[in-house]
């Protein structure tokens, strides 16, 4: 990283020295290219082309996302969501094992 900074500042010093020499000698035609190049760099810095701005393709939202957006637009509060879970307590489903008789097992182990 330091090497890049050193190279950058050396190039800047040489560019300023070159501009100073050209102005001092009165060679204004040699300044046209650097001025145009500097102007283009400044222009593209302030207004980058659309291809470089990172435009991404538009993605169509899902039905669930659209429904959520519609609920938020209609004034529906986020705390008033519909409860999708069943309201009754834990329910045990009886198994169908046939290898052991429940009558022969003692009540307490």
Whether the Cβ atoms of residue 31 and residue 19 lie closer than 8 Å to each other? yes
Instruction: Return the sign of the alpha-carbon dihedral for residues 40, 44, 49, 52.
Output: positive
Retrieve residue 74's tokens. 């209609």
Of the CA atoms within 13 Å of residue 85, those in its CB half-sphere come to 4
pLDDT band of residue 81 (cuts 50, 70, 90) is low
pLDDT band of residue 54 (cuts 50, 70, 90) is low
Residue with the bigger pLDDT between 39 and 82: it is 39
- String of DSSP letters for 1-16: -HHHHHHHHHHHHHHH
Q: What is the pLDDT, as a whole number, of residue 19?
A: 84
The pLDDT > 90 percentage for the chain reads 2
Whether the Cβ atoms of residue 19 and residue 34 lie closer than 8 Å to each other? yes
Q: pLDDT (tens digit, 9 = 90+) per residue, 13-45? A: 998 898 889 888 888 888 888 888 888 988 888
Q: What is the pLDDT, as a whole number, of residue 10?
A: 92
For the entire predicted model, the pTM comes to 0.36
pLDDT band of residue 107 (cuts 50, 70, 90) is low
């Amino acid at each position: 990283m330091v090497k890049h900074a050193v190279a950058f500042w050396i190039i800047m010093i040489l560019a300023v020295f070159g501009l100073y020499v050209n102005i001092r000698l009165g060679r204004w035609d040699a300044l046209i290219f650097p001025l145009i190049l500097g102007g283009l760099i400044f222009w593209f810095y302030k207004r980058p082309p659309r291809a470089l701005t990172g435009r991404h393709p538009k993605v169509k939202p899902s039905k669930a996302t659209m429904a959520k957006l519609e609920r938020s637009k209609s004034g529906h509060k986020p705390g008033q969501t519909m409860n999708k879970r069943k309201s009754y307590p834990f329910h045990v489903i009886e198994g169908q094992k046939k290898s052991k008789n429940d009558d022969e097992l003692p009540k307490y182990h």
